[in-house]
Amino acid sequence: MNGVHDWMITTDPSLEIELARIVEQGRQRGEIRAGVDRDQAGQLLAACYFSTILRWIREEPAPFDLHERLAGALDIILLGLLADEAHTGEP
């Protein structure tokens, strides 16, 4: 990929918008905390996705299993970094 193409892919907001829509659906079903900003969550998820993809394609052979890395990142984003005992309530 060239620099211009990389920039176009990572600045296209369509993935952020779709992910924000999915977050909103999860909020409505009670699967995602009500206080989560759907647009910010969509941006975070899209940024994680694109940065992982860009790291994966930069090297030959691929430096990690893409599916495993994306699943792991999603796990961290959805479940957080803190142990259950460390949660003191909603931010």
User: What is the pLDDT at residue 67?
Assistant: 97
Q: What is the DSSP letter of 11?
A: H
Three-class DSSP labels, 37-87: CHHHHHHHHHHHHHHHHHHHHCCCCCCCCHHHHHHHHHHHHHHCCCCHHHC
As a whole number of angstroms, the distance between CA 46 and CA 69 comes to 14
Q: What is the DSSP letter of 31?
A: S
* Residue 1 pLDDT grade (very low, low, confident, very high; cuts 50, 70, 90): very low
Map tokens 């941006």 to a residue.
43
* 10-29 pLDDT, tens digit each: 566 799 999 999 999 999 99
* 36-66 pLDDT, tens digit each: 999 999 999 999 999 999 999 999 999 999 9
Map tokens 């959805």 to a residue.
78
Domain boundary assignment for the chain? 3-86
As a whole number of angstroms, the distance between CA 83 and CA 56 comes to 29
